[in-house]
Amino acid sequence: MAKITKRDQDYSQWYVDLVTRAEMADYAPVKGCMVIRPWGYAIWERMQRALDDMFKATGHENAYFPLLIPESFLKKEAEHVEGFAPECAVVTHGGGKKLEEPLVIRPTSETIIWAMYKKWIQSWRDLPLLYNQWANVLRWEMRTRLFLRTTEFLWQEGHTAHATAKEAQEEAERMLGVYRTFAEDWMAMPVLSGAKTDAEKFAGAVTTYTIEGLMQDGRALQAGTSHYLGQNFAKAFDVQFQNREGENQYVYATSWGVSSRLVGALVMTHADDAGLVLPPKLAPLEVVIVPILKADADNSAILTAATRLAEPLEDRVRIKVDDRDNVSPGWKFNEWELKGVPVRIEIGPKDLEKGQAVVVRRDTGEKTPVDQGQVAVHVQDLLAAIQPALLEKARRRLEAGCRSVDSFDDLKATLEADGGFVFAPWCGEAECEARVQEETKATIRCIPDDAEPCEACAVCGKGPATRVPFAKAY
């Protein structure tokens, strides 16, 4: 098994090597599209299950809305069409005939959903509507990368309708909190969070909230967004309700989403030069047992011992005995390292003599001989320890990647030299934000809730300003 490119040689190539060679994804024959292979999909399934449980625990229900949206719907919200129309795939023919009105493949579903909400919402009794859908969406992309940016991607999109601005605002913030918790507790990925600037917000939103991770190469990655939409879509689709006082009023809205790009974020948060490193909670397999088999020998005692080690763990962890006889133990070690399985157990003839097995941690490489009778307990403790250890390691990297500067020169120099999140004072003007982007390619990733007040903008020197994180981003 040939090695993948090393990170310090070419981070971008390392990523592609890893994702393709670990059989997480492959390029599709359609430009910009990907195939998610079983190993990558199993990670996404675990993410889906965890998120779906969290959405349901916060009162949301799943529904499914059509893939195809009449082109005219997109045009009803002025900012929305400007943002999304250029990215759409357009269906012009169906059933062998030219369509009267072209249909776009959903780039996001606000418009079709609000067209339906108009049918379903009449009174305050119908509110709130707390719906989510798991779906594929399509945005025509020029430069694509497996998982991170593809023309078609998988995601979930929540779309809620509320009687008051306050409720909708709270909902948008609550779901950002759910994403933040998911990122930390499941992905072991610490994030910055806050509102987007007007230049960076969702097309059609009043406010966009975001969580932002820091990848190993110093670039930021937007990992989830939650939008307070105000009455923009309710007005565009004329969705009014009768309030408790009998007055007609436009409905308030939110939408929020995370996508299969989270799988890419997971790779670039934990993986190393040997391959993927998976947090146990999201690993399709938590433990693999590799019996050290010899060619042309009687391996039955080893295979029996391997099976006995697995038995007490089978109901508790996702485990498998890799008993293939057509590849060597070393080949298997490399393969499971590449695929990021958190714990490997090796058992060979010498271990058998000593009544032990060797437990190997994927994240640190640490090898520990363990009495066979203690393996089950040891492995469960280890898995419980690996999850927070990965978060802690990623948190230290995030903290080390956050730097603070006051001048534009320092901002440029630090972005150039170190990457990461460079916090600098900003006056709030779009012009200053644009100038930084022109000269450094870095954008303001979010305005943190607790942003420090400063006297002078790093770009124009005017005040008041607040300290916000700039970064180059995926």
Q: Is 138 in the site for a second copy (CB under 8 A)?
A: yes
**Which lies closer to a second copy via its Cβ, residue 158 or residue 348?**
158
Which C-beta is closer to a second copy: that of 61 or that of 416? 61
Non-local (6+) Cβ contacts of 295 within 8 A are none
9 binds a second copy (CB under 8 A): no
Q: Does 115 bind a second copy (CB under 8 A)?
A: yes
CB of 309 to a second copy, least distance (A): 23
Q: How far is CA 125 from the centre of its chain?
A: 35
458 binds a second copy (CB under 8 A): no
Judged by CB under 8 A, does residue 70 bind a second copy? yes
Q: 132: Cβ–Cβ under 8 A, 6 or more apart, which residues?
A: 52, 55, 60, 61, 62, 63, 156, 157, 158, 159
Nearest-CA neighbor of 253 among 272, 238, 237, 232? 232
Round to whole Å and give the CA distance between 136 and 114: 18
Chosen residue from 65, 395, 429, 435 binding a second copy by CB under 8 A: 65
Contacts with 291 (C-beta within 8 Å, 6 or more apart), sequence order? 299, 302, 303, 305, 306, 321, 322, 323, 329, 347, 348
Q: Contact between 454 and a second copy (CB under 8 A)? A: no
Q: How far is CA 108 from CA 54, 153, 188, 225, 281, in A?
A: 22, 11, 28, 13, 29
Report the alpha-carbon distance of residue 76 to residue 410 in Å, rounded: 44
The size of the chain, in residues, is 474
Phi and psi, residue 390, nearest 5°: -65, -40
Q: Say whether residue 116 binds a second copy (CB under 8 A).
A: yes
Asked if 258 contacts 223 with a C-beta cutoff of 8 angstroms, the reply is: yes
Query: How far is Cα 428 from Cα 170, in angstroms, rounded to an integer?
Result: 24
Residues 125 and 123: their CA atoms lie apart, in Å, by 5
CB 44, min distance to a second copy, A: 8
Q: Is 96 in the site for a second copy (CB under 8 A)?
A: yes
Q: Is 41 in the site for a second copy (CB under 8 A)?
A: yes
Pairwise CA distance, residues 243 & 241, whole Å? 6
Segment lying near a second copy (by CB under 8 A), choices 68-76, 217-225, 305-313, 393-401 = 68-76
C-beta of 158 vs 419, nearer to a second copy: 158
When asked if residue 143 is in the footprint of a second copy (CB under 8 A), the reply is: no
Nearer to a second copy, 32 or 230 (CB): 32
What is residue 150's three-state secondary structure?
Answer: coil
User: Binding mask 303-342 vs a second copy (x if CB under 8 A, - otherwise)?
Assistant: -----------------------x----------------
Residue 98: CB minimum distance to a second copy, A: 10
374/392 Cα distance (integer angstroms): 27
Q: Count of CB atoms within 10 A of residue 42's CB?
A: 17
**Shortest CB 440 distance to a second copy, Å:** 27
For a second copy, the binding residue among 140, 170, 378, 402 (CB under 8 A) is 140
Candidates 12, 13, 92, 364; binder of a second copy (CB under 8 A) is 92
* 10, 13, 26, 308: residue in contact with a second copy (rule CB under 8 A): 26
149 binds a second copy (CB under 8 A): no
Confirm or reject binding of residue 88 to a second copy (CB under 8 A): yes
Among 59, 86, 453, 464, binds a second copy (CB under 8 A): 86
Minimum distance from residue 109 beta carbon to a second copy (Å): 11
Q: Which residues bind a second copy (CB under 8 A)?
A: 26, 28-30, 33-38, 41-42, 44-45, 61-70, 73, 86-96, 102-103, 105, 112, 115-116, 119-120, 125, 131, 135-136, 138, 140-142, 151-152, 154, 326
